[in-house]
């Protein structure tokens, strides 16, 4: 990746997202079919989730199973915010309100990430996985018992504000942020921590700080994804954020290849589309889905789409 042009790629991505957001109706696939549009947005949200988790699990080498928890925090916060303020705001300012809601959700998720990260990131590997798993469940149970956000029956009537443009603009921001971080002298520290923590420490890298940074950044984007999801489905239920959701995202990262952004994006799209293609198999589809993942993992344990991109051009600023 040529970093000098990195910001230009970001702009291009956002511009493309905005164009698509107005132009998709002219594409034959989407003509009059909300179903395809919905899936396209799902893909975009998956990309944000997977790429942001990749910073934690892939680049920094931590094993977090709590991504759905951060997504829930962001989703519920953004949804509640829009529900409260929507009646007070004129139509012309609604996009701004949506942006504020999303960023607020992201920040709240990041704050939660900080709270969870500081004590738990002293743990490693499996231990960290279990702590983050527990955290995700705590979030779910809290939400399930909170009447302000609909408790177990879910939060209904969230305005439908998420469009292709919003989704892919944020996907572009996420991809940019993660690759910009990792492809800098500062960001190489993430990979150093993942490769050898002791050596990283002796090179002046504070591993705890790096891990927390990765955790908080990942949580922020998971929160954004949650907000987009809430305003896309218009309905949030605590069961949608159980640990299976976290595992879905982890599978995307592993299948795409830990620390490979392009691979993870492809895997996110693929794993979002796959259940839809398998719909005709009705009851068997989750079995086929699982079998496919097992087969893929056995065939290519290093990830499906490892392009060897990491070392190439590593030095070109």
Partner 1 sequence: MNDALLDLNNATIKFGGLTAVSELCLKIHADELVGLIGPNGAGKTTAFNLITGVYQPTAGQIYFSGKSIKGTKPHDLTKSGIARTFQNIRLFGSMSVFDNVRVATQVHRAYGIGSALWRGRDFHTGELEVEKHVHELLDIFQLRDMRDEDARSLPYGDQRRLEIVRALATRPKLLLLDEPAAGMNPTEKEELMKLIQFIKDKFKIAIMLVEHDMKVVMGICQRIYVLEYGIKIAEGTPNEIQRNAKVIEAYLGTEGQS
Q: Of 19-27, 199-207, 286-294, 296-304, which part binds partner 1 (CB under 8 A)?
A: 199-207
- Does 276 bind partner 1 (CB under 8 A)? Our answer is no
What SS3 class is residue 260?
A: coil
The residues near 140 (Cβ < 8 Å, ≥ 6 apart) are: 69, 72, 238, 239, 241, 242
Beta strands in 15-118 (DSSP E): none
- Does 200 bind partner 1 (CB under 8 A)? Our answer is yes
- Does 13 bind partner 1 (CB under 8 A)? Our answer is no
What SS3 class is residue 27?
A: coil
Residue 147: is it exposed, middle or buried by C-beta count within 10 angstroms (0-12/13-18/19+)? exposed
Q: Contact with partner 1 (CB under 8 A): which of 138, 152, 203, 307? A: 203
Closest CB to partner 1 among residues 5, 23: 5
Q: Contact with partner 1 (CB under 8 A): which of 88, 126, 280, 311? A: 311
- Does 3 bind partner 1 (CB under 8 A)? Our answer is yes
Number of chain positions touching partner 1 (CB under 8 A): 36
Closest CB to partner 1 among residues 3, 237: 3
- Does 202 bind partner 1 (CB under 8 A)? Our answer is yes
Q: Contact with partner 1 (CB under 8 A): which of 2, 93, 125, 195? A: 195
**Residues 165-184 within binding reach of partner 1 (CB under 8 A):** 177, 180-181, 184
Q: Check: CB of residue 79 under 8 Å from CB of residue 231.
A: yes
Angle of helix 34-53 versus helix 261-277 axis, rounded to 10: 140
Q: Check: CB of residue 243 under 8 Å from CB of residue 169.
A: no
Q: Check: CB of residue 244 under 8 Å from CB of residue 289.
A: no
Q: Which residues of the shown chain bind partner 1 in the complex (CB under 8 A)?
A: 3-4, 6-7, 177, 180-181, 184-189, 191-192, 194-196, 198-207, 213, 217, 310-312, 314-315, 317
């Amino acid at each position: 990746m040529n970093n000098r042009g990195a910001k230009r790629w970001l702009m291009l991505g956002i511009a493309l997202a905005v164009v698509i957001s107005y132009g998709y109706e002219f594409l034959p696939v989407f003509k009059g079919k909300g179903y395809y549009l919905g899936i396209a947005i799902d893909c975009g949200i998956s990309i944000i989730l997977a790429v942001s988790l990749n910073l934690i699990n892939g680049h920094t080498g931590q094993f977090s199973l709590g991504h759905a928890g951060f997504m829930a925090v962001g989703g519920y916060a953004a949804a509640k915010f829009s529900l409260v303020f929507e009646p007070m705001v004129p139509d012309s300012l609604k996009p701004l309100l949506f942006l504020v809601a999303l960023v607020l959700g992201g920040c709240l998720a990041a704050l939660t990430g900080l709270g969870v990260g500081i004590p738990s990131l002293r743990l490693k590997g499996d231990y960290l996985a279990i702590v983050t798993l527990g955290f995700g469940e705590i979030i779910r149970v809290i939400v399930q018992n909170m009447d302000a956000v609909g408790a177990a029956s879910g939060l209904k009537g969230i305005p439908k504000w998420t469009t292709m443009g919003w989704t892919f603009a944020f996907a572009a921001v996420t991809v940019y942020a993660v690759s910009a971080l990792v492809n800098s002298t500062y960001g190489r520290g993430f990979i150093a921590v993942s490769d050898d923590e002791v050596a990283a420490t002796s090179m002046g890298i504070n591993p705890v700080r790096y891990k927390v940074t990765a955790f908080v950044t990942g949580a922020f984007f998971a929160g954004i994804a949650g907000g987009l999801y809430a305003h896309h489905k218009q309905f949030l239920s605590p069961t949608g954020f159980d640990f299976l959701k976290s595992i879905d995202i982890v599978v995307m990262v592993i299948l795409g290849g830990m620390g490979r952004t392009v691979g993870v994006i492809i895997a996110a799209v693929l794993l979002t589309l796959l259940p839809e293609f398998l719909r005709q198999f009705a009851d068997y589809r989750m079995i086929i889905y699982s079998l496919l993942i097992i087969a893929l993992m056995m065939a290519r344990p290093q990830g499906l789409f490892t392009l060897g991109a990491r070392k190439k051009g590593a030095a070109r600023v």
